[in-house]
Amino acid sequence: MTPITKQAGAITARVPAKINLQLSVGPLRSDGYHDLVSVFHAVSLFDEVTVSPADRTTVVVSGEGIADVPLGPSNLAVKAVAALAKATGRRGRGTSAVRIEIRKRIPVAAGLAGGSADAAAALVACNELWGSRCSGAELGEIGAQLGSDVPFALVGGTAVGIGRGEQLTRALVSGSYQWVLAFGATGLATTDVYAACDRLRSARADGGEAPVKAPALSTELMAALRSGDPAAVGPLLTNDLQPAALSLQPLLRRALAAGREHGALGAVVSGSGPTCAFLAEDADAASDLAVAITGAGVCRAVVQVSGPVPGASLVDPVAAT
Ligand code: ATP
């Protein structure tokens, strides 16, 4: 692993993972996409991205799952830097080159939008480094071209996403929620999970089931989030991709069951998985749940987090030392 060093003139942003409290997936469209309704919730598991001026753009990654993170132009943070440079008219050799250092705590290909998070952090950090003065809305527009989860990683909190998930409206939420996240042994590629979802649905349609409807926001979930009562929120967590994720990683069934057995108020696969999110009554209950799920031996690692938390933001270099 390449060591990460502190550099003069460097700007750091940190950015949270997301989980989905609701993920409703519409029928397959003719262009290969699905209309979504997603309730995003940012949780306190953060990646950090540091950018500093350089002669050419390079990426260094440390931390969780680094073997699966590309170091070239397909890295989403690199794409974000290039997109911001283009949008702000920074051209010419050297003017938009940066060294990008990514410290990953968000597992890769885990349904937690870690790559999108790094893109959002790179946008915020380079906006500051270059004095570009793009507004949050402008960064959101640039981010939406990079990936549908990038706009949410910029704003954080809890928000409803429609379209491909990139058209956001802030959700009204009371209080803070305590979660346990259980990470799978291996990742799941989002495209594989959508393909499995389509296969399962077409098999069900062949068996005479009614066609899949257009996705709709759960008004019950919205009311429960406004109430601030985790016991009301827990049973309303849903994910249309869960059956597909379970078909690809059957061990996830045991992870979800272990969480429910040990007192989780709700248990759901996040996004395309394989991370499972368990809602607890409070921080003490979440600690107990984390210990119990670890003991059940059905996942690679467990972390305790809370949400909602804000989106990508600059790290104060003085406070960080
Ligand atoms: P999605 O956002 O599609 O739901 P995910 O949250 O499940 O995906 P990510 O951690 O975003 O998963 O990784 C998806 C893929 O994106 C990885 O397999 C990796 O090859 C690629 N990728 C590109 N840039 C990054 C990055 N900075 N960090 C992690 N993965 C990245």
* Ligand 1 centroid, distance to 153 Cα (angstroms): 13
If you take atom 15 of ligand 1, which residue's CA is the nearest one?
Answer: 109
| Torsion of the alpha carbons at 254, 190, 176 and 117, rounded to the nearest 10 | 140
Average pLDDT over residues 44-59: 96
58: which 2 tokens? 């390079």
Model pLDDT, residue 32: 87
Instruction: Pinpoint the alpha helices (H) of the chain.
Output: 76-87, 114-129, 136-146, 150-155, 190-206, 219-227, 230-233, 242-248, 251-261, 283-296, 317-320
Look at residue 80 in the predicted model and tell me its pLDDT.
Answer: 98
Tell the residue number behind the tokens 């409070």, with chain if given.
282
- What's the pLDDT band for 2 if we cut at 50, 70, 90? very low
Nearest residue by C-alpha to atom 29 in ligand 1: 115
Mean pLDDT of 193-200: 96
Catalytic, out of 47, 79, 104, 149: 149
User: Residue range 197-224: average pLDDT?
Assistant: 92
On the 0-12 / 13-18 / 19+ scale of CB atoms within 10 A, 80 is buried
pLDDT value of residue 124: 98
Residue scoring higher pLDDT (94 or 213): 213
CB of 272 closer than 6 angstroms to any ligand 1 atom: yes
Residue 161, CA atoms < 13 Å, CB-side half-sphere: 33
**Ramachandran assignment for 301, one of left (phi > 0), alpha (psi -120 to 50 degrees), beta (any other):** beta
Q: Is the pLDDT of residue 1 over 70?
A: no
- Counting from 1 in the atom list of ligand 1, the atom nearest the Cα of 109 is 12
User: How would residue 5 be classed by pLDDT, with cut points 50, 70 and 90?
Assistant: very low
pLDDT tops 70 at residue 296:
yes
Residue 114 near ligand 1, beta carbon < 6 Å = yes
Task: Ligand 1 pocket test: pick from 69, 103, 186, 188 the residue with the most ligand atoms within 8 Å of its Cβ.
Answer: 69
Q: What is the pTM of this model?
A: 0.94
Residue 282: strand, helix, or coil: coil
Whether ligand 1 lies within 6 angstroms of the CB of 314 is answered as no
Q: Give the tens place of pLDDT for each residue, 161-190.
A: 999 878 899 999 999 999 999 999 899 999
Structure tokens, 312: 């990508």
Q: How far is CA 193 from CA 23, 41, 84, 287, in A?
A: 13, 21, 31, 30
- In this structure, are residues 111 and 21 in contact, taking their beta carbons and an 8 Å threshold? no
Q: Would you tell me how many other CB atoms lie within 10 Å of the CB of residue 39?
A: 24
pLDDT at 3: 41
Q: Say how far apart CA 113 and CA 91 lie, in whole Å.
A: 30
CB of residue 76 inside a 6 A radius of ligand 1: yes
Sign of CA dihedral 136, 138, 144, 146: negative
pLDDT higher than threshold 90 for residue 94: no
Separation of alpha carbons 106 and 118, rounded Å: 10
Active site residue 213: no
Residue 18 falls in the annotated catalytic set: yes
The percent of residues above 70 in pLDDT, for the chain, comes to 95
**Residue 93 DSSP label:** T
How much distance in Å is there from the Cα of 116 to the middle of ligand 1? 7
Q: Is the CB of 62 under 6 A from ligand 1?
A: no
CB 53 within 8 A of CB 129: yes
Tens digit of pLDDT for each residue in 63-87? 988 999 999 999 999 999 999 999 9
Atom number in ligand 1 closest to CA 59: 27
Tell me the CA–centroid distance for residue 272 and ligand 1, in Å.
11
Which of 18, 47, 79, 240 is an active site residue?
A: 18
- Does residue 149's CB lie within 6 angstroms of at least one atom of ligand 1? yes
The Å distance, Cα 275 to ligand 1 centre, comes to 13
Does residue 191 have its Cβ closer than 6 Å to ligand 1?
no
Rg (CA), the chain: 20
**7: pLDDT strictly greater than 80:** no
Does residue 275 have its Cβ closer than 6 Å to ligand 1? Answer: no
Q: In what order do the strands lie in the sheet with 301-307?
A: 266-269, 276-280, 177-183, 301-307
Mean pLDDT calculated for residue range 16-29: 96
